[in-house]
Amino acid sequence: MQLAQAWVAQLPPVPVRLVDRSPQLSADQLAERFVPPPRFRSVRFETFDPNPDHPSQAAARTDLEALVAGLGGGGAASGRGGLFRRARPASGSAVRGRYLDGGFGVGKTHLLASSWHAAPAPKSILSFEELTAFVGFVGMQKAISTFRGHRILCIDEFELDDVANTRMAVTFLRAVVDSGTTVITTSNAVPDRLGEGRFNAEDFAREIADIASHFEVLRIDGPDFRALQHPPNSDLSTADEVARVVAAAPPGSVSVDRFDDVLAHLRKVHPVHYGALIDGLEAVVIEGVVPIENQGAALLFVQLIDEIYDAGITFAATGCPIGEIFPDSYRRGGYRKKYGRCESRLNALIAEARPGSSATGAG
């Protein structure tokens, strides 16, 4: 498939391609990246605008502000007085963490990043996908030593996909929480339903209960803010829209790749390096998007879109509608929430790249 002629003339003689990049970062270099991504770099508690029709949003902000304020007093906050109390650890110690449960685009990541900004150092923020990739890349003991003793650790989009990361999560959380670290995480499923529909979670009820015991749940209700800002369109970019994106980006700051090439390259790059894959870019263009027939490739593409969205990079793509990228069997299966989040973020990214649109920091 040839690049659309309407915008190929805008390309430099040798355009940047994602498939030519193979970043290799050390464990320490990766750990330095665990700060809020550009999209959430300027958010704060005071910039969070709770929906008055959904009081749980304001209640969650109030609870998190109090929790983080308690971290400045020389020890991890106990969590007493939380608004949504859950089980306590078997050891009898107080619940230290918060678990922000809610749908897409209700501001969970905004509140998570605000908690990080307000907390004292040492501290880190990363997605659960980044955490599992980091553990797989450096090993459990190195990962634990990286975060042990942090005042706060913020984990976005906590989700159990399989038996391996269930066991990983239990081992990791036990170690960092026992060191006094306060953990705040977001998810689209309450802790006792983690893993539902993805593997035989009933066989790991004890492990899932152990994970749940580290948190008090804050339920955050409301509509998808991204959908309100950018009503679902499902169409990808037009050739004219891609041409504008390419023309607006400084030379050397826009990548242009074919979709099938990107999917093949993602299998060669360790997911822990997906963020570095787009470093230095102001825009990413993918040409010829088609339905993904392999679920492994689909999940890697979801991770790439998460990185692009969090980085606040302009994104344009041509091809099939957003609603056709992932087969219905995937969108109804165990990973449906991943695909739903990805479709929500793709819709926002495509809309933001259109003339007259502005970026939004909704989580």
pLDDT in tens, 197-223: 554 556 556 777 788 888 898 999 998
| CATH number of the domain that residue 63 is part of | 3.40.50.300
Asked whether residue 74 is domain-assigned, the answer is yes
Q: What is the residue range of 77's domain?
A: 52-222
For residues 67 and 201, state if they share a domain: yes
Residue 204 lies in a domain: yes
Contacts of residue 119, Cβ cutoff 8 Å, sequence gap at least 6: 68, 71, 151, 152, 182
Residue 171 within a domain = yes
C-alpha count within 13 angstroms, C-beta hemisphere, residue 271: 20
3-state SS, the chain, equals CCCCHHHHCCCCCCCECHHHCCCCCCHHHHHCCCCCCHHHCCCCHHHCCCCCCCCHHHHHHHHHHHHHHHHHHCCCCCCCCCCCCCCCCCCCCCCCEEEEEECCCCCHHHHHHHHHHHCCCCEEEEEHHHHHHHHHHHCHHHHHHHHCCCCEEEEECCCCCCHHHHHHHHHHHHHHHHCCCEEEEEECCCHHHCCCCCCCHHHHHHHHHHHHCCEEEEEECCCCHHHHHCCCCCCCCCHHHHHHHHHHCCCCCEEEEEHHHHHHHHCCCCHHHHHHHCCCCCEEEEEEECCCCCHHHHHHHHHHHHHHHHHCCEEEEEECCHHHCCCHHHHCCCCHHHHHHHHHHHHHHHHHCCCCCCCCCCC
Query: What's the mean pLDDT when you consider all of the chain?
Result: 84
- Same structural domain, 241 and 206: no
pLDDT digits (tens, 9 = 90+) for 302-322: 999 999 999 999 999 999 999
| pLDDT (mean) for 234-240 | 91
Establish if 315 belongs to a structural domain. yes
pLDDT (tens digit, 9 = 90+) per residue, 108-130? Answer: 999 999 999 999 999 999 999 99
Is 169 a domain residue?
yes
What is the pLDDT at residue 268? 97
CA atoms lying within 13 Å on the CB side of residue 207: 19
Pair 214, 243 in one domain? no
Q: 232 — phi, psi (to 5°)?
A: -55, 130
Q: Which residue has the tokens 């998007």?
A: 289
Number of domains in the chain: 2
> Are 172 and 267 members of one domain?
no
| Domain boundary, last residue among 205, 222, 239 | 222
**CB proximity list for 339: less than 8 A, separation 6 or greater:** 298, 302, 326, 330, 331
What's the CATH code of the domain at 332? 3.40.50
Answer yes or no: do 201 and 286 share one domain. Answer: no
Specify if 293 maps to a domain.
yes
pTM of the model: 0.83
Same domain, 64 and 193: yes
Residue ending a domain, choose from 206, 222, 238: 222
Q: What is the pLDDT of residues 78-119, one digit of tens each?
A: 332 332 333 333 333 455 799 999 887 789 999 999 999 999
Q: What is the per-residue pLDDT across 22-52, written as a single tens digit (0 to 9) for each?
A: 999 999 999 999 999 999 999 999 999 999 9
Q: Are 246 and 275 in contact (CB under 8 A)?
A: no
Token representation of residue 260: 């099938």
Question: 291 and 201 in one domain?
Answer: no
In the prediction, which pLDDT does 202 show?
Answer: 62
* Residues facing 293 on adjacent strands: none
Q: Say how many residues make up the chain.
A: 363
Strand partners, 284: 255, 315
- Position 253, amino acid: S
pLDDT computed for residue 189 by the predictor: 67
Q: What is the pLDDT of residues 328-356, one digit of tens each?
A: 999 888 788 889 889 989 999 999 998 87
Q: Note whether residue 357 is domain-resident.
A: no
Residue 50: half-sphere exposure toward Cβ, Cα within 13 Å = 16
User: Is 239 found in the same domain as 119?
Assistant: no
The last residue of one of the domains, among 222, 248, 277, is 222
| Pair 231, 179 in one domain | no
Residue 363 lies in a domain: no
User: Do 109 and 188 lie in a common domain?
Assistant: yes
Given this model, what pLDDT does residue 80 score? 27
- What integer pLDDT is reported at residue 335 of this predicted model? 84
Taking the C-alpha atoms of residue 87 and residue 35, their distance in angstroms, rounded to an integer, is 30
**Residue-level pLDDT at 167:** 86
In a shared domain, residues 183 and 244? no
pLDDT-derived band at 224 (thresholds 50, 70, 90) equals: confident
Position with higher pLDDT, 164 vs 286: 286
Q: Does 6 have pLDDT greater than 90?
A: no
Q: What is the mean pLDDT of residues 230-242?
A: 83
Q: Among 49-63, 142-156, 233-247, which is the least confidently predicted range?
A: 233-247
**255 pLDDT higher than 50:** yes
| pLDDT tier for residue 75 given thresholds of 50, 70 and 90 | very low
In sequence order, what are the beta bridge partners of 255? 16, 284
Q: Residue 306 has which token pair?
A: 């998460």
Q: What is the pLDDT of residue 194?
A: 59
Which pLDDT band holds residue 1 (cuts at 50, 70, 90)? very low
- CA separation for the pair 2, 307 (Å, rounded): 27
Tokens 């826009």 label which residue? 254
Domain match, 257 and 218 both: no
